[in-house]
Amino acid sequence: MTVQALKAHLNTAPFVPLELITASGKSYRVKHPDFVTFSPAGRTCNVYGDDGEYFTTLDVLTVTEVVPEKPRAGRRRK
C-alpha cells in the first residue's frame, strides 16, 4: 500500500477505527488517526497500541489491507 492510500483511510471523516493487515497476516488496530505516525520519507509508520504507550514499526509497503471496524449494535442516538 502507498503512504497516500493509507493516509486517505486515516483522514476519512468521521473516522472509523480500523485494522491494518500486513502481508504476514498480522493485524494492528488503529483506534484514532493520531495513533499512526509516518517517517519523513513515508516508508515506515509507527502504529501505537490502544494505550498509546507502545508502538510497532511497519513498512508501509507490507500493509495489504485496511479493514474498518463494524459498528457495534447499541443504543441509537435521537
pLDDT band at residue 76 using 50, 70 and 90 as cut-offs = low
pLDDT band at residue 37 using 50, 70 and 90 as cut-offs = very high
Q: What is the pTM of this model?
A: 0.85
Architecture of the structural domain at 3-68: Roll (2.30)
Rounded to a whole number, what is the distance in angstroms from the first to the last CA of the chain?
39
- Quick one: 6 exposed, middle or buried, by C-beta within 10 A (0-12, 13-18, 19+)? buried
Question: Which sequence spans correspond to the domains of the chain?
Answer: 3-68
